């Protein structure tokens, strides 16, 4: 057995890979070898640590030194000072990990302090490509327990009693879905994992697959035993190459160790898994469209009923859950239903993973107990809004969700509370907006995404969302008319009631929520032809403040449209609004701040 005096953990999630973590790892290997300590130091490439804003991240144990934004040139300093001389390099530490010259434990760092990591428990902790490390952290122990000590019905009862609900958006009770599939008649049943994560700004499932792929393998096998299936499929988008590679390694290693295949743990149970790659269609996150795609057909929704539990992949009963839902299963088996059900709220048990982005200091991946308030996420975990700006709204649930304003910032995050506000949990995207965001522009952005991703099968979604987008485009371009708000509301109602699948049924949510909470912005755009946030280009005006103008003419020289009139040294300059292209070059050029945007 190898004994190491220090462990160096380097984040190997997609975000840190794009920031150069592979170069950092190679530099560590080189530097450790040069100093002759490569056998004393364990170098581990992990999954995502969560605090993406601070990446690339390196954590050195046993001290727990949290180094952030590391460059290859920093590596020699860490090796020479910390690993050789035992002196932590304070200048490279994450700012919030030090207090009065003392190193905080990771769980005491603000970003992590209010988190409870269940689905993410191994992300940033183990090497995701080493099955031995997963096993060392109780990996496959839950599967062994299930196969040697529990009957399938007992497994399902544990999941039901835990209160776990689907983390993919709908929030359907997981145990009930398992029970329906188990009771369905069929000579073949399938287990499927939905890893087709397409929401803008969402990377929860990707991070779990990258950081802890074996948890999905184990959970799918447990589900297969519970419902009577011997075959599973993971449907993951091809745009996730790191996740796909590590998942395939996990599947291959599990087969080699006898944890997939025939007679697992000596029991009369066979189970195997294959990966199916998606082409990046957002609609394939809808379960029946996903099933069509697995079968090799175009990813378009099917009418329901029948539901997948009765007729899914190739017409056979199919259990379909998303990545995060499965990631909680082994811990529920090991710790018990009561343990999990005590976390969260009465109707929303356990934890939820969110991808926090937008106008926020601590961009990243987090996992919180259900019932944590929006304020706690934004300010305690997220570190507040950059540049001292005011919080305006948070958009939850991706294109299917809504925007929640400041007045509801103390709302607890759970399924029912978010729906009551006109939003939804969704898969876990959370995008923060500040005072500079135009809420109509935000609604237009998400609706534009939905229009682009609509499969086109049903007219309400195909045509209705397009008409809504045209109205929003007109409003943001200064062409809005009285009655447009009411027209948007009528279209929204019809689309929600008559669309075939969840994509169309929820597409109007961003529009409806912004009308509900920010109606004054719509009215300003339509009636006054003004964007209160100064975002919509067609509604902007650049104006010279007479008393500040020094008649220097710099603005006229810099104007690419030659629309600024005046005589240098003699006349106050003015802008011809009809010719202005609203580029803002004049504002940037004026040394006296005499030109403003309004």
The domain segmentation of the chain, as residue ranges, is: 6-106, 131-341, 351-434, 439-528, 541-597
Residue 467 per-residue DSSP state: H
Assigned fold of 351-434 = Ubiquitin-like (UB roll) (3.10.20)
Q: What's the pLDDT score for residue 1?
A: 44
d(CA 433, CA 430) in angstroms, rounded, equals 10
Burial classification of residue 99, based on how many CB atoms lie within 10 Å of its CB (0-12 exposed, 13-18 middle, 19 or more buried):
exposed
Give the angle 275-281-287 at the CA atoms, nearest 5°: 65
CATH 3.40.30.10 corresponds to the domain 6-106: yes
CATH code matching the domain that covers 131-341, chosen among 3.50.50.60, 3.40.50.11540, 3.40.605.10, 3.40.50.300: 3.40.50.11540
Residue 113 pLDDT exceeds 50:
yes
pLDDT level of residue 102 (50, 70, 90 thresholds): confident
CATH 1.20.1440.230 corresponds to the domain 439-528: yes
Question: 351, 369 in Cβ contact below 8 A?
Answer: yes
- Token pair, residue 321, equals 């859950």
Residue 260 per-residue DSSP state: S
- Token pair, residue 35, equals 């100093």
Beta carbons within 8 Å of 554's beta carbon, 6+ residues apart = 589, 590, 591
Torsion of CA 367, 220, 236, 117, to 10 degrees: 10
d(CA 222, CA 140) in angstroms, rounded, equals 10
pLDDT tens for residues 226-273? 999 999 999 999 999 999 999 999 999 999 999 999 999 999 999 999
Q: Which of 284-288, 335-339, 387-391 has the lowest mean pLDDT?
A: 284-288
d(CA 443, CA 276) in angstroms, rounded, equals 33
CATH number, domain 541-597? 3.30.70.20
Question: 223, 319 in Cβ contact below 8 A?
Answer: yes
Question: 300, 289 in Cβ contact below 8 A?
Answer: yes
- Smallest CA-to-CA distance from 217 within 336, 323, 350, 334 is with 323
DSSP-H helix ranges across 191-347:
204-211, 213-227, 241-256, 287-294, 323-335, 337-341
pLDDT tens for residues 174-227? 999 999 999 999 999 999 999 998 888 889 999 999 999 999 999 999 999 999
């Amino acid at each position: 057995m190898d004994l190491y005096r220090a462990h160096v953990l380097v984040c190997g999630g997609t975000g840190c890979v794009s920031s150069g973590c592979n170069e950092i790892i190679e530099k560590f290997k080189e530097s450790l070898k040069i100093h002759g300590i490569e056998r004393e130091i364990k170098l581990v490439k992990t999954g995502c640590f969560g605090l993406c804003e601070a990446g690339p991240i390196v954590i050195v144990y046993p001290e727990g030194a949290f180094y952030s934004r590391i460059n290859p040139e920093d590596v020699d300093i860490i090796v020479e000072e910390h690993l050789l001389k035992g002196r932590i390099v304070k200048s490279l530490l994450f700012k919030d990990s030090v207090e009065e010259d003392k190193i905080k434990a990771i769980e005491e760092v603000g970003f992590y302090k209010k988190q409870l990591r269940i689905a993410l428990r191994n992300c940033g902790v183990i090497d995701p490509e080493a099955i031995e490390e997963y096993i060392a952290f109780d990996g496959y122990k839950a599967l062994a327990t299930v196969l040697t000590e529990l009957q399938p019905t007992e497994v399902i009862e544990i999941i039901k009693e835990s209160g776990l609900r689907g983390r993919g958006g709908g929030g359907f009770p997981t145990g009930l879905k398992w029970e329906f599939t188990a009771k369905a008649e069929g000579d073949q049943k399938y287990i499927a994992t939905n890893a087709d994560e397409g929401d803008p700004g969402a990377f929860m499932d990707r991070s779990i697959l990258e950081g802890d792929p074996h948890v999905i393998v184990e959970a799918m096998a447990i589900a297969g035993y519970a419902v009577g299936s011997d075959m599973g499929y993971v449907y993951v988008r091809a745009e996730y190459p790191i996740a796909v590679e590590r998942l395939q390694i996990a599947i291959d290693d599990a087969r080699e160790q006898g944890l997939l295949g025939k007679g697992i743990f000596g029991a009369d149970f066979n189970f195997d898994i294959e990966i199916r790659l998606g082409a990046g269609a957002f609609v394939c996150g809808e379960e029946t469209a996903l099933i069509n795609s697995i079968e090799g057909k175009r990813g378009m929704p099917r009418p329901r009923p029948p539901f997948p539990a009765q007729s899914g992949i190739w017409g056979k009963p199919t259990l379909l859950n998303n990545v995060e839902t499965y990631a909680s299963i082994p811990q529920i088996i090991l710790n018990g239903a009561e343990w999990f059900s005590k976390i969260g709220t009465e109707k929303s048990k356990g934890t939820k993973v969110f991808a926090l982005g937008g106008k926020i200091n601590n961009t990243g991946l987090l996992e919180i107990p259900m019932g944590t308030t929006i304020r706690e996420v934004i300010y305690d975990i997220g570190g507040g809004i950059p540049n001292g700006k005011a919080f305006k709204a948070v958009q939850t649930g991706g294109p299917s969700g809504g925007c929640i304003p400041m007045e509801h910032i103390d709302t607890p995050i759970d399924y029912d509370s978010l729906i009551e506000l006109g939003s939804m949990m969704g898969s876990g995207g959370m995008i923060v907006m500040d005072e500079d965001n135009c809420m109509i522009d935000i609604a237009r952005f998400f609706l534009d995404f939905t229009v682009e991703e609509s499969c086109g099968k049903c007219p309400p979604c195909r045509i209705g969302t397009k008409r809504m987008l045209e109205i929003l485009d007109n409003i943001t371009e200064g062409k809005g008319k009285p009655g447009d708000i009411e027209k948007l509301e009528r279209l929204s109602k019809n689309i929600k009631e008559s669309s075939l699948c969840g994509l169309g049924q929820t597409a109007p949510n961003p529009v409806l929520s912004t009308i509900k909470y920010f109606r004054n912005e719509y009215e300003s755009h339509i009636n006054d032809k003004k964007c209160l946030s100064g975002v919509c280009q067609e509604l902007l005006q650049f104006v010279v403040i007479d008393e500040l103008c020094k008649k220097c003419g710099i603005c006229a020289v810099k104007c690419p449209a030659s629309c600024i009139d005046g005589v240098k040294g003699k006349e106050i300059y003015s802008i011809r609004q009809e010719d202005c292209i609203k580029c803002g070059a004049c504002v940037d050029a004026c040394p006296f701040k005499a030109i403003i945007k309004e």
